[in-house]
Chain A
Amino acid sequence: MSWLLAAAVVWAGCTWAALRIARGPLSRRRAGQVAVAALFGATVLVLWEGVVRGLAVSPVILPPPSAIAATFAGALPVLWGDFVQTILKGALSGWAIGCGAAVATAIAIDRSDFLKRGLLPVGSFMAALPIVGVAPILVMWFGFDWQSKAAVVVVMVYFPVLVNAVAGLGQTDRLACDQMATWGASWAQGLWKLRLPAALPFIFNGLKIASTLALIGAIVAEFFGSPTRGMGFRISTEVGRLALDMVWAEIWVAALAGSGFYGALALIERALTFWHPAQRARG
């Protein structure tokens, strides 16, 4: 009972503080905005802990955050091994191959209007399909280890990046193209110095979508067969043993990896497309 009461008090306190900040002058400042978001996150954690302990919810249904944190800290070597297997080997290598192939294809078909008109509808159609379903097939073809996961990721990220890259390459200003022609620029020079930079905001949009898809693909593909390590393997086996604190720890790893990957891409994008209005507007 005291847990529930404490949780309710913290909830009320945080809500009051968040409302104060949101209505006050601080809400226009970055510090205030971060504080409100952090308060909300903290409230959810405290409520979760309080309700689980207060109502004595069984740990096989929902473990409290403290237990998850303890498992997380205790199982660091295992989690690191899974992270290397799934994220670094499976997702990252597949992401790099898939995105590289997609951008290369976009550059290759960019000169042919016929291919563009044919491939774009097919590409956007494929991008909407539940491609993760090819996982069982690719696991059969490439074996249980990370190669099959990378293959799933390649197929998943290829079409969204292709569609974005083709759209980006079509963004170049007609006038700027003519200017390059006036200067006698070769096709490669025009591509490297004008069209590729102009396409970067679109390509990065595709890369960011692909980063989330890559993690999903690598994890879900492990549900169809994997060596005895990897995040998807761990999640499915620990769910079977009802060791939910370990499952939640893996989910935290996935969340950290996902937001870290995305954040790194956003930083690179900011460094490479500093000239774009969307970046300059932030000041």
Chain B
Amino acid sequence: MRHVLPVLAVVAAIIVAWYGAAAWMNSQWTLDQAAREGRELTIVDIVNDTMVQERPKLPAPHQVGAELWKTVVATRPGSKRSLLWHGWVTLSATAAGFGIGTVAGLLLAVGIVHSRAMDLSVMPWAVASQTIPVLAIAPMVIVVLNSVGVSGLLPKAVIAGWLSFFPVVVGMVKGLRAPEPMQLDQMATWNASRGQLFWKLRLPASMPWLFASLKVAVAAALVGTIVGELPAGATSGLGARLLSGSYYGQTVQIWAALVAAAVLAAGLVALVAATERLVLGRMGMRR
């Protein structure tokens, strides 16, 4: 509760600054219009006009809210104009990619921890790959997979999976190595097999690391999906809404899609965090 008041204050300050910036940035257009028609405007007229423009440079928060209301609540969910539908397209590709990336990452991490050769050969590349802007290959993946006849959800899921794969590998390798030498010695004293060592010590000990990297991975998967929806031809998904908005100068639509993406990201991270609390709580590791 300590945080509620300060956070509310900061959010309020952001909204006030947003309104101020909207009035300031949109006023030029209003002034130009008035000058062309030879009208005189008072400050109140200018501010009023900047809040209701059709294509403002920076839409005011309530305009974005109205657009969200129109496309989320007032439109039939199945229709192509519904933001819910676009959000669902993005969410499903993100979830599929996140699943693929997580499972593949877990498997590779288990391999790396158990094989010295894999550790030495793959791990440096996995770490180095995190410094590379992998997202740059997104358009190529989409087009190439399209040209071999794979389209729709899968190409986007591949990009999302690729982006969520490496955080999971790096985090899980750390996590599976988290048990201290003393604990490993204890398991050896009990004559534990490799399987028992894995299931009863390494895997439980790695859970905090797993969830930390899953939070990074799910955010990365969403970014991957949105960028995967950018290349020409995409007509559905939040990324496509961003692109078409930027083509036709529909700033309100862009901001609405952005807010939707933010809500989606926050929801996904919160979901992982809730699972984390549940799992760690059941395991008695709650901090």
Contact = CB atoms under 8 A, between A and B. Distances in A.
At the interface, is chain A mostly helix, strand, loop or mixed? Answer: helix
A95 to B, nearest CB: 13
B147 A60 contact: yes
A219 B136 contact: yes
B132 interface: yes
Highest count of chain A CB atoms <10 Å: which of B132, B219, B230, B232: B132
A18 B219 contact: no
A118 interface: yes
B255 A137 contact: yes
Nearest to A250: B136
B39 interface: no
A224 B6 contact: no
Interface string A108-139: 00000011111101100100111011111101
Interface stretch (B68-76, B102-110, B117-125): B117-125
B140 A22 contact: no
A259 interface: yes
A144 B201 CA distance: 55
B57 A239 contact: no
Given A36-B117, A130-B265, A258-B133, A235 B226 contact: no
Contacts of A39: 121
Contacts of B6: 114-119
Contact of B120 (A33, A118, A122, A244): A33
Nearest to A257: B133
Contact of B266 (A60, A125, A232, A263): A125
A239 B231 contact: yes
Highest count of chain B CB atoms <10 Å: which of A39, A61, A129: A129
Given A136-B254, A239-B231, A117 B269 contact: no
A272 interface: no
Given A133-B258, A258-B132, A27 B120 contact: yes
A130 B219 contact: yes
B22 interface: no
A73 interface: no
Nearest to B238: A133
22 contacts: A19-B117, A37-B124, A39-B121, A40-B121, A114-B9, A117-B6, A118-B5, A118-B9, A135-B242, A136-B242, A137-B258, A140-B246, A223-B230, A224-B230, A225-B246, A235-B140, A240-B143, A242-B143, A247-B137, A251-B137, A251-B140, A263-B131
B60 interface: no
Contact of B261 (A114, A130, A211): A130
B128 interface: yes
A254 interface: yes
A40 B2 contact: no
A220 B227 contact: yes
Nearest to B8: A118
Given A235-B139, A239-B143, A216 B121 contact: no
Given A18-B117, A115-B6, A259-B131, 9 more contacts: A60-B147, A61-B148, A128-B215, A128-B265, A129-B266, A133-B257, A136-B242, A239-B231, A251-B136
Highest count of chain A CB atoms <10 Å: which of B10, B119, B147, B215: B10
A17 B147 CA distance: 38
A23 B242 contact: no
A114 B232 CA distance: 46
Interface string B211-242: 00001000100110011001110000011001
A62 interface: yes
Contact of A136 (B8, B11, B130, B246): B246
A-B residue pairs, 10 tightest by C-beta: A118-B6, A136-B246, A40-B121, A22-B117, A262-B131, A118-B10, A36-B120, A215-B133, A117-B6, A37-B124
A254 B147 contact: no
Contact of B3 (A118, A231, A235, A244): A118
Interface string A189-218: 000000000000000000010011001100
B43 interface: no
B226 A130 contact: yes
Interface in A165-211: 208, 211
B116 interface: yes
B251 interface: yes
A20 B116 CA distance: 11
Nearest to A41: B125
A236 B219 contact: no
B44 interface: no
Nearest to A62: B144
Contacts of B8: 118
A119 B13 CA distance: 11
A135 B226 CA distance: 12
B121 A236 contact: no
B258 A261 contact: no
B77 interface: no
B52 interface: no
